[in-house]
Amino acid sequence: MITLEDIKKAARTLDGIIHKTQFLYTSTLSQLTGGSIYLKTENLQKTGSFKVRGAYYKIASLTDGERSKGVVAVSAGNHAQGVAFAASRFGIKSIIVMPEFAPVAKIVATMNYGAEVILHGKNIDQAKEKALELALKGMTLIHPYDDPYVIAGQGTIGIEMLEDNSALETIIVPVGGGGLVSGIAIAAKSIKPGVKIIGVEVEGYDSLKISLDEGKRVCVPGRLTLADGIAVGICGDIPFGVIKEKVDEIVVVSDDDISSAMFWLLERAKYVVEGAGAAGLAAILAKKIGLAGNKVGVVLSGGNIDLSMLQLIIDKGLVKEGRRVEVRVIVPDKPGQLKGILELLGNLGVNIYSINHNRVSEGLTSGFAEVELILETRNRDHAANVISTIQENGYILR
């Protein structure tokens, strides 16, 4: 139903509207994997996500009469902002229905792009009921992935990647509802039939992998995940048909894999990437895909993440690498004892992130105090040396 010509038409429509995001070689990741790895930086796209491509092209396809009645969408994140931005460029009304739990930052961002936001329901399904009610009154519902115009818009990423590097052998794409991977697959396979397309889902939302195994679309119950952008219970009908024909492999990663990939991107590539956007890199770092000798393009699909979540990702990454360690040291409750442990840590090259001196901790013997320390160390070996040295100097750890 969707052809390369459809996607090229979308590219012409989007020219001058969206960013042609950079497709950058990463030597560090290439050395780590043995492949030649390139990152498609849709995290730096307008509205912070690839979603604006499909949303704009869909609205551009509407008649003047349809646009005059406005558009409506259901989303708690990136699709909301893409539709709001696109509608504002056309000067038309947009209503975004969000669940009541939607993050305040995303609500405000969507409103700042010019949309009216309605908070309705406890979940996406309940929010969808309100959006369908508005659609029945004449507004056009902009689906996030199960629409040929939306898919064609997302497929422009595939054209851009092969324009920038025609030698690509593999393209890795995050998968939720399937609009992005199906659009890219159509474009890439039409231009270069031998290119391999790999989709990446997150555990708990592996609807596509299960559906392909069973030969029909299957809905999964889902669970909490930091990859909320691909937390879709069932892949789209149109994408499923495309994926069965054109996508070579689906792999599934964990939240822990994604968290590690986000941390790597922050520290090594200097990119802020949301959970869903880092799924492709997560599959590489977790060695779910063999890439040795391959020229590989990885889509970083979005960068919209709450700052509080970003802080958690940083903290978790530092702990996992042994660069932040919590210790509790039992010392006699006498003058000079705290100074002694601090001097020891200073001599070991440790930075103290936080400290708490506690005399009343449960289980603490009278006459002793517990010093709770969060330490910044260089790596796991350094952390292990710090702990053993503390013990060798007669301090009790718990």
Q: Which residues are designated catalytic?
A: 51, 301
Taking CA 140 as the corner, what is the angle to CA 135 and CA 144, rounded to the nearest 5 degrees? 100
300 vs 271: CA distance, rounded Å: 10
- Are 237 and 265 in contact, with CB atoms under 8 Å apart? no
Q: How far is CA 198 from CA 89, 192, 396, in A?
A: 33, 15, 51
Phi then psi for 2, rounded to 5 degrees? -115, 130
Q: How far is CA 74 from CA 87, 227, 307, 384, in A?
A: 14, 18, 23, 50
* Token pair in block for residue 158: 């595939």
Where is 220: in which H helix or E strand?
A: none
- Are 375 and 317 in contact, with CB atoms under 8 Å apart? no
Taking CA 312 as the corner, what is the angle to CA 39 and CA 102, rounded to the nearest 5 degrees? 85
Task: Sort strands 196-202 and 170-174 into parallel, antiparallel or unpaired.
Answer: parallel
Taking CA 42 as the corner, what is the angle to CA 40 and CA 45, rounded to the nearest 5 degrees? 140
395 vs 398: CA distance, rounded Å: 10
Fill in the amino acid letter for 219.
C
Task: Sort strands 23-25 and 36-41 into parallel, antiparallel or unpaired.
Answer: antiparallel
SS3 content of the chain, % helix, strand, coil (to 5): 45, 20, 35
Taking CA 194 as the corner, what is the angle to CA 188 and CA 195, rounded to the nearest 5 degrees? 45
